[in-house]
């Protein structure tokens, strides 16, 4: 199958799409940086960052049917969430836990992305619990197709389920059980592990005895691929192939994106206790955004004038989102009592 | 109407729901060709096929998690956990995930999931085939917890569970699977989740129970009526969460005496909540202490018959407790 794939999927991307990918990475970065500033200013209480993960997430997002395919994200998926169709304002409302927070109405901590409209699934904070649930979403897709309830080619319907998590979280049994179902039932699913080397302070060697997370795919009878997660186009290629596999009845794929978190784990973490500044500096040289920017400039697709435009636009969006969210009211205290049970249908 | 066992009524409910709604599917260990280790799904694999009656891998966490995902995708999964004792590996998926999804998504995602599992002892199952686990889950808002004690209710409540847009834990008294028989309409009826049922009307004392113990409580009530002329009311709670406070209060206000019976261990069991509700809201109607009759506070039910019977609450023990409290 792969020998027939003559041209890499990336060659199918228009310049317009490439620029959109760049824009989404940039927007995510600027939103994220503002969150750190707001935290330093004491205006918000918690932030967990996607800085460094933008290529992995944007490459993934652009490979699927965004807003239609199920996406079960984790807390680091800001860029992914934005690319699927949530906004900087959505994120900021969640960050401030204000009225209008579309993810949880202020109930969840920030970065618990959710949109029923966009088929982004609301998750908990329990790492990896979303993986077997994503197998359930993929199971439902396959079930509907097998039962003739939907046309497998109907692109208005979800045709795959994507979930993300960190490499440390793959130590959980949930991950194993989820991938096992995906293998046994040949499910249209992608599990994207964003391997940033650390789980808070614990390095990957303390999580697993194999070199690559994706090496374990064979244990589930699914395809495993390891990819440079700081290279957005390499990510796109791998994810596109995984998506086509899912769409065409080829089963699940375990994608491992090797990347690095360029910030502490969260605003509550101090990463100086467990990793050297030299190591962090080395990885900053591989910043996925500057890397993509250089590529696009070399290709003559992106100019300095355009970069300045994007930066101005990002600043405006972030400013507006920040202002609106900060000014928004807090939820009514009694909102604590709502949404315990869904009402019965008649 | 047909006279049938509790487990036959459950099978009938699942059969009808599978036929009624193509979103309904069943998964769990051995639910396919084997028809379940208790045969609750007997014949459904042959009738509905491998797509809708699915032997799961031997992994409870994922049986529930698959159900959650499929339910979020608006299918109507019925997940079977082979014994309630094995639900613990799925505890996080039930308590942190299924129960909290509607709340945490601000009402955007529902989890219309049914988890069926046989519970309870007295069947020679030892520590790990005898447990009563309902009180863990009855402590979790967002879940519904249902335990039928008659074939009629088993069918009607299970159909309600399948149609409920929320996660429902459906505990089945396995000792009563074949021991409890009753009339079951062949029609498509439901029994609503929520209201308790007066299993036997009486004036002297209220006995609150569910599942196997509700069945036994009725037997005990008939016995004390016959032998002692005591007129005991038996309230079959049926739905443990949300709790039917009104039914509890109405009954105890009428009789002035409350005995709560459950087969789980005594301390922190479901009966503690029933007792607290009565103490809170019916104190001035009480004509005696609220009593609990339950299993002993040991880790689980032993295998040896003598110890098992020591552990198990039975009609004689209930009758004795009714007499004691009535005499107070
Ligand atoms: C089950 C569970 N245990 C512990 C935690 C606390 N915790 C949150 S994130 C995290 C580290 C996760 O690391 P990894 O999976 O590598 O993802 P990363 O944050 O590096 O992207 C831990 C221990 C949790 N959220 N859930
Ligand atoms: Mg990590």
Q: pLDDT by residue (tens digit) across A11-34?
A: 999 999 999 999 999 999 999 999
Confidence of residue A245 (pLDDT cuts 50, 70, 90): very high
Q: Which of A75, A196, A199 to mutate to test the pocket of ligand 1 (most atoms within 8 A of CB)?
A: A199
Longest dimension (CA), chain B: 59
Question: Residue A2: is its pLDDT beyond 60?
Answer: no
Mean pLDDT of B218-241: 98
Q: Are A317 and A325 in contact (CB under 8 A)?
A: no
Give tens-digit pLDDT for A67-99. 999 999 999 999 999 999 999 999 999 999 999
Nearest to B93 among A129, A140, A143 (CB): A129
* Domain co-membership, B17 together with B117: yes
Distance CA(A187)–CA(B304), nearest Å, equals 45
Q: Which residues contact B10 (CB under 8 A, 6 or more apart)?
A: B40, B116, B154, B155, B158, B172
Question: Which chain B residues touch A138 with a CB distance below 8 Å?
Answer: 69
* Domain co-membership, B205 together with B178: no
* Domain co-membership, B155 together with B271: no
| Distance of CA A129 from the midpoint of ligand 2 (Å) | 16
Q: Which of A73, A123, A169 to mutate to test the pocket of ligand 1 (most atoms within 8 A of CB)?
A: A169
Question: Residue A217: is its pLDDT beyond 50?
Answer: yes
What are the phi and psi torsion angles at A10 (to 5°)? -60, -25
Q: Which of B49, B62, B71, B167 to mutate to test the interface with A (most CBs of A within 10 A)?
A: B62
Mean pLDDT of B310-323: 98
Q: Are A127 and A169 in contact (CB under 8 A)?
A: yes
* Domain co-membership, B40 together with B164: yes
For residue B116, give the CATH number of its domain.
Answer: 3.40.50.970
- Report the percent of chain B where pLDDT is more than 90: 100
pLDDT given for residue A4 in this prediction: 53
* Domain co-membership, B307 together with B164: no
Residue B189 maps to a domain: no
Among the four given CATH numbers 3.40.50.970, 2.30.42.10, 3.40.640.10, 3.40.50.300, the one describing domain A15-331: 3.40.50.970
Q: Which residue of B has its CA nearest to A178?
A: B62
Distance CA(A281)–CA(B6), nearest Å, equals 67
Q: For residue B176, what are the domain limits?
A: 2-184
Burial class (CB in 10 A: 0-12, 13-18, 19+), A143: buried
Chain B from 24 to 63: CB within 8 A of any A CB: 25, 51-52, 56-57, 59, 61-62
**How many domains is chain B built from?**
2
Residues linked to residue B184 through DSSP beta bridges, in sequence order:
B2
Question: Which chain B residues touch A146 with a CB distance below 8 Å?
Answer: 51
Q: How many CB pairs under 8 A join A and B?
A: 148
Residue B191 maps to a domain: no
B129 catalytically annotated: yes
Hey, what are B170's tokens?
């459906």
Question: Residue B220: is its pLDDT beyond 90?
Answer: yes
Residue B190 maps to a domain: no
Give tens-digit pLDDT for B89-120. 999 999 999 999 999 999 999 999 999 999 99
* Domain co-membership, B147 together with B21: yes
Mean pLDDT of B295-323: 98
Residue B128 maps to a domain: yes
Mean pLDDT of A151-169: 98
Q: Are A257 and A229 in contact (CB under 8 A)?
A: yes
DSSP 8-class letter at B237? -
What are the phi and psi torsion angles at A276 (to 5°)? -80, 155
DSSP 8-class letter at A342? P
Q: Which of A98, A125, A342, A344 to mutate to test the interface with B (most CBs of B within 10 A)?
A: A342
Mean pLDDT of A164-187: 98
Ligand having the closest approach to the CA of B96: 1
Q: Which residues contact B319 (CB under 8 A, 6 or more apart)?
A: B220, B223, B224, B227
Ligand 1 site residues, Cβ closer than 6 angstroms: A 76, 125-127, 165-169, 194, 196, 198-200, 261, 265
pLDDT given for residue A345 in this prediction: 85
* Final residue belonging to a domain, choices B184, B208, B224: B184
pLDDT given for residue A201 in this prediction: 98
* Domain co-membership, B24 together with B145: yes
**Chain mean pLDDT for chain A:** 97
Q: What share of chain A is helix, strand, coil (3-state, %, to 5)?
A: 50, 10, 40
* Final residue belonging to a domain, choices B122, B155, B184: B184
Mean pLDDT of B123-133: 98
* Domain co-membership, B172 together with B217: no
Q: Are B324 and B317 in contact (CB under 8 A)?
A: no
* Domain co-membership, B169 together with B237: no
pLDDT given for residue B1 in this prediction: 87
Contact B66 A107 (CB under 8 A): no
For residue B234, give the CATH number of its domain.
Answer: 3.40.50.920
CB of B114 within 8 Å of a chain A CB? The answer is no
Mean pLDDT of A109-127: 98
| Distance of CA A200 from the midpoint of ligand 1 (Å) | 7
Distance CA(A271)–CA(A254), nearest Å, equals 28
CA of A159 vs chain B CAs: smallest distance (Å) = 12
| Distance of CA A43 from the midpoint of ligand 2 (Å) | 27
Q: Between helices A15-40 and A88-96, what is the axis angle to 10°?
A: 20
Question: Residue B50: is its pLDDT beyond 60?
Answer: yes
Question: Residue A5: is its pLDDT beyond 60?
Answer: no
pLDDT given for residue A1 in this prediction: 46
Nearest to B69 among A105, A140, A338 (CB): A140
Closest Cα partner for A113 from A127, A129, A125? A125
Complex ipTM more than 0.95, yes or no? yes
DSSP assignment of B36-104: -TT-TTTTHHHHH-TTTEEEPPS-HHHHHHHHHHHHHTT-EEEEEPSSGGG-GGGHHIIIIIITTHHHH
Q: Which residue of B has its CA nearest to A158?
A: B73
Give tens-digit pLDDT for B152-174. 999 999 999 999 999 999 999 99
- Report the percent of chain A where pLDDT is more than 70: 98
Model's pTM, two decimal places? 0.97
* Domain co-membership, B165 together with B206: no
**What are the Cα distances from residue A237, in Å, to A8, A80, A295?**
6, 16, 16
């Amino acid at each position: 199958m792969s020998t027939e794939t003559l041209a890499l999927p990336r060659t199918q991307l228009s310049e317009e799409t490439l620029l959109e990918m760049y824009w989404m990475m940039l927007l995510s970065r600027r939103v994220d940086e503002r969150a750190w500033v707001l935290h330093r200013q004491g205006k918000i209480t918690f932030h967990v960052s996607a800085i460094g993960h933008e290529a992995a997430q944007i490459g993934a997002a652009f490979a699927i049917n965004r807003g239609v395919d199920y996406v079960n994200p984790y807390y680091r998926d800001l860029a992914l969430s934005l690319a699927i169709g949530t906004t900087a304002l959505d994120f900021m409302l969640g960050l401030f836990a204000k009225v209008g927070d579309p993810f949880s109405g202020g109930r969840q901590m920030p970065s618990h992305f959710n949109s029923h409209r966009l088929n982004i699934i609301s998750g908990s904070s329990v790492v990896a619990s979303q993986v077997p649930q994503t197998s359930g979403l993929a199971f439902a897709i396959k079930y509907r197709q097998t039962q003739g309830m939907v046309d497998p080619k109907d692109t208005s319907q979800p045709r795959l389920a994507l979930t993300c998590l960190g490499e440390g979280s793959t130590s959980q049994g949930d991950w194993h059980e989820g991938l096992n179902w995906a293998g046994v039932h040949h499910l249209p699913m992608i599990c994207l592990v964003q391997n940033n080397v650390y789980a808070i302070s614990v390095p990957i060697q303390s999580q697993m005895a194999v070199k690559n997370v994706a090496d374990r795919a064979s244990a589930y009878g699914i395809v495993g691929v390891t990819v440079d997660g700081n290279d957005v186009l390499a990510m796109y290629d791998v994810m596109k192939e995984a998506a086509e596999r899912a769409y065409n009845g080829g089963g699940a794929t375990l994608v491992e994106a090797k990347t690095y978190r360029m910030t502490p784990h969260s605003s509550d973490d101090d990463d100086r206790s467990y990793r050297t500044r030299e190591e962090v500096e080395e990885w900053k040289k591989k910043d996925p955004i500057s890397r993509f920017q250089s590529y696009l400039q070399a290709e003559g697709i992106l100019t300095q004038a355009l970069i300045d435009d994007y930066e101005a636009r990002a600043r405006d969006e972030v400013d507006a989102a920040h202002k609106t969210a900060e000014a928004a009211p807090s939820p009514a205290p009694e909102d604590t009592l709502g949404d315990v049970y869904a009402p019965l249908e008649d | 109407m047909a006279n049938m066992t509790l487990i036959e009524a459950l099978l009938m409910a699942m059969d009808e729901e599978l036929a009624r709604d193509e979103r309904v599917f069943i998964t769990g260990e051995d639910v396919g060709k084997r028809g379940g280790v208790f045969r609750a799904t007997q014949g459904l694999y042959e009738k509905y096929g491998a797509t809708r009656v699915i032997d799961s891998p031997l992994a409870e966490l994922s049986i529930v998690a698959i159900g959650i995902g499929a339910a979020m995708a608006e299918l109507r999964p019925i997940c079977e956990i082979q014994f309630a004792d094995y639900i613990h590996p799925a505890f996080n998926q039930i308590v942190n995930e299924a129960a909290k999804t509607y709340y945490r998504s601000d009402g955007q995602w529902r989890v219309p999931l049914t988890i069926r599992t046989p519970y309870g002892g007295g069947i020679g199952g030892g520590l790990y085939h005898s447990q009563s686990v309902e009180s863990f889950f009855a402590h979790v808002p967002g879940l519904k917890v249902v335990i039928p004690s008659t074939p009629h209710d088993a069918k009607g409540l299970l159909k309600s569970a399948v149609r409920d847009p929320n996660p429902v834990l459906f505990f089945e008294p396995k000792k009563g699977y074949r021991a409890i028989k009753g009339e079951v309409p062949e029609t498509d009826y439901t029994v609503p989740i929520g209201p308790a049922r007066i299993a036997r009307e009486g004036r002297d004392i209220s006995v609150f129970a569910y599942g196997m113990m509700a069945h036994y409580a009725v037997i005990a009530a008939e016995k004390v009526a016959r032998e002692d002329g005591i007129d005991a009311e038996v309230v079959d709670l049926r739905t443990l969460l949300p709790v039917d406070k009104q039914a509890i209060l109405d009954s105890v206000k009428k009789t002035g005496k409350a005995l709560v019976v459950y087969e789980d261990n005594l301390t922190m069991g479901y009966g503690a909540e029933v007792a607290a509700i009565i103490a809170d809201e019916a104190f001035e109607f009480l004509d005696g202490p609220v009593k609990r009759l339950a299993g002993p506070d040991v880790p689980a039910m032993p295998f040896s018959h003598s110890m098992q019977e020591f552990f198990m609450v039975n009609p004689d023990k209930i009758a004795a407790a009714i007499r004691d409290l009535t005499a107070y």
